[in-house]
Chain A
Amino acid sequence: MSVLIYVELDNGSIKKTSLEAVAYGARVAEQLGEKATVLAVGKAETAELEKAGSYGAVNVLHAADEKLSHENGLAYADALVQAAQQEGSKVIILSKSGLGDAMAARAAAKLKAGVVSGVTALPDTNGAFKVTRSIFTGKAFATAEIKSDVKILVVKKNAIEIDESQLTGTAATVKSFSPQLRDSDFKATVQNVEKADSELSLTEAEIIVSGGRGMKGPEHWQPLLDLAKALGAATGCSKPVSDLDWRPHHEHIGQTGIKVAPSLYIACGISGAIQHLAGVNGSKCIVVINKDPEAPFFKAADYGIVGDVFEVLPKLTEAAKKLK
């Protein structure tokens, strides 16, 4: 038996959040006295998949059918269920994302499994199987026991600390895996995919520099982009900024936007309304730059600067360029 972990691929590379899920799954496997097996769907080099071994996986099942090269949650969920059945997996782990949730849900219905999404810590497997997850968009946690035979956990970023120095060089054994594909999963036709390839993904980013209405307009975004570049950061924004089309919608962070959990979140000219905070409260360190000392964001911040973004940002960029 093994704990099965699904890893998401991005242009043939295992996503960082998925490597975290592998480390998480390997720890659960250790708790249960089982081994950790990974499932990857889509195009990837064997050497890349072997990397999952450093994070604790023993085997990687690789489904590389040409039909699966386009991300298809329905077919991917079928592959996940078939892999779980082949491996006799009673615990299935995915990382929290649109795809992760979609696959977890479809697989849960197929396997009659309890599914818990937004898991923030390792399960308590002493006797009963209990998991804790984030609820109310980070405002609280809930612990529940999963009763079903098969259990599906969708883990949030930072659910466990990974000690990079503990990573081994052991390669996982990659085996090819050919799930039965159903025509019904391919009824939709993809008309178009617009993806900014060069951009760092917000959900994967370790550092995010984000701007609000205080940035005054799209033509004033350059100082923010400069700091992001100097720090190797992704860029985000508040809701009014994307509503006003100053920045693309997929940069919108918050309750109704993307939820992020970087190591460092730098908010520039964002007031810190509760709905924005709801999307960033998983960040390890929050920096707020706002000219209003009463801005609510300072209450949630670790470091704050009361000042004009257009004066502060260039100074930070200069200092960041000198980093090494």
Chain B
Amino acid sequence: MKILVCITNVPDTTAKITFTDNDTKLNKNGVQYIIGPYDDYALARGVELKEQSGGTLTVLHVGEADADPQIRKALAIGADDAIRVNADPLDSYFVATQIAHIASQNNYDLILMGRESIDYNSGVVHGLVGEMLGIPSYSPVMKLDIDGGTATISREIDGGKEILKAPLPLVLGCQEPISEWKIPNMRGIMTARTKPLNVTEPVSVETMTVPEKYSLPAPKGACKMIPAGEAEMLIRLLQTEAKVL
């Protein structure tokens, strides 16, 4: 089985978000970058499926060279090789077009990625890639088993879950608890250095969206404290003051 896992390179979940250049650029100063947490789930399950089926796993990132440490980490976790499409990813459409282009040249059975990136939270890349390739896409996938050419998928739906059986190839957006995140071991880290990381240039894409500026939410007012002994008072305040009851 040929598996492709797409990863994003995003600020750590605890990062304080600020902007520079007149609020037109993210301030990367002091921000630690990580593999997108949902992508980490996709990667972990991809590695397990590869180990079971004896296939190959390629990891793909659309972005600039500053993501190479995260790509190396994915190689250390168990990917066989990596592709980086060398571009500043402008929007989901651009990223999806690059992924679909690489995928169309390589006939993957399974394309896994996170349900969304935690920077733009769009959750649309898997659907775009699926449609561009003309294959089904499902998200968010919480359980995935492959038997021959068929996937059994358990995915979250509003207020519950649904179990599907679908023929490969598929594009899937993953989330927990599809697998446990994997931490690279020493051997993995050493071998990752020798695994191929191929850098390719992007294919051209029509511009769909142009970023203009960023802003931060208005600061929160102070919290009104209510003594525990007078907890009932809260209900009255929620009704008369906050007007939410």
Contacts and interface: CB of A to CB of B under 8 A. Distances in A.
Interface stretch (A37-45, A58-66, A283-291): A283-291
Contacts of B152: 191
A243 to B, nearest CB: 8
Contacts of B138: 73, 102, 188
User: What is the interface residue range for chain A against chain B?
Assistant: 35 or more
Nearest to B207: A147
Contacts, number: 271
A122 interface: no
A114 B96 contact: no
Interface in A277-315: 278, 281, 284-285, 287-288, 298-308, 311-312, 315
Contacts of B217: 138-141, 281
A227 B14 CA distance: 32
User: What is the interface residue range for chain B against chain A?
Assistant: 35 or more
A contact patch SS: mixed
Given A10-B158, A255-B13, A315 B210 contact: no
A155 to B, nearest CB: 13
Given A102-B127, A195-B159, A199-B159, A303 B226 contact: yes
Interface in B108-145: 116, 118-128, 130-132, 134, 136-140, 142
Contact of B245 (A139, A305, A323): A323
A281 B242 CA distance: 16
B232 A116 contact: no
Nearest to B114: A256
Contacts of A148: 206, 208-209
B68 interface: no
Residue with the greatest number of chain B CB neighbours at <10 A, chosen from A194, A202, A299? A194
19 contacts: A103-B127, A105-B92, A109-B127, A115-B208, A117-B92, A134-B121, A136-B17, A144-B91, A187-B136, A188-B166, A191-B163, A193-B163, A195-B157, A263-B244, A264-B242, A304-B226, A307-B231, A311-B228, A312-B228
